[in-house]
Amino acid sequence: MPTSTFFNLPNEKKRKIICAIKDEFSRVPFDEVSINKIVYTAEIPRGSFYQYFIDKNDMLEFILLEFQNQMIEQVKISLHENNGDIFIMIRDILNFTVEFVLEEKANNFCKNLFADIKVNSKFYLKMPQNATEKKIFEELKPWINLELLDLREEDDLSNMIDILFSICRDATAETFLRISDIEIVKQKYTQKLQLLRRGFMKGKELNKDA
């Protein structure tokens, strides 16, 4: 993650550096990203760059986290506009990702980022999990309408979120990795959400010990 020195920069200078980073990630594959090109475009000394970021991986993590934060804000709006429906929330997380991927510059960013199988693996491991997922859940929980859900046990909500995030994580990774098959990914994702919404055991009482 960027240092406090970066976050303390004037907003315009931060914006210029972020734009330069995104432009470079969109221009070439990850392994060919040039820090010299970034500092030239951002009009900063090379030495200053290392006061802001450790390396290319540090920049990548920051860009992905920025995407995640933008997504969370959009999902809060979705929950507010849709009576706190958790299934619409999960649907809109993927929709936000698809909109991002289909932008021309973002499309090039994704293609370049995942041209290297090593980067593919690193990216999937960086998808929101464990502590990060818990942080996202805590941010979104106040916006979720619990009255819409059939919650019978204390852990039902957290278990439901775990299942939904697991499906969402896989679909989000597929969206980045299979840009040409986005509609197929969305269709499979929608079908899974519909199954969960209506329940697997329609009209039957589940065995509590199952």
Structural domain spans, the chain: 1-54, 61-198
The top-level CATH class assigned to 1-54 is: mainly alpha
Counting other chains too, the contacts that 127-136 makes at CB distance below 8 Å and 24 or more residues apart are: 127/169, 127/172, 127/173, 128/68, 128/165, 128/169, 129/169, 132/68, 133/161, 133/162, 133/165, 136/68, 136/72, 136/165
Res 105 pLDDT > 70: no
Higher-pLDDT residue of 136 and 4 is 4
Res 201 pLDDT > 50: no
pLDDT-derived band at 34, boundaries 50, 70, 90:
very high
Res 210 pLDDT > 60: no
Query: Which of 80-89, 95-104, 128-137, 194-203 is least confident?
Result: 128-137
Res 52 pLDDT > 90: yes
Res 121 pLDDT > 60: no
pTM, two decimals, is: 0.68
What pLDDT, on a 0 to 100 scale, did the predictor assign at position 204?
Answer: 47
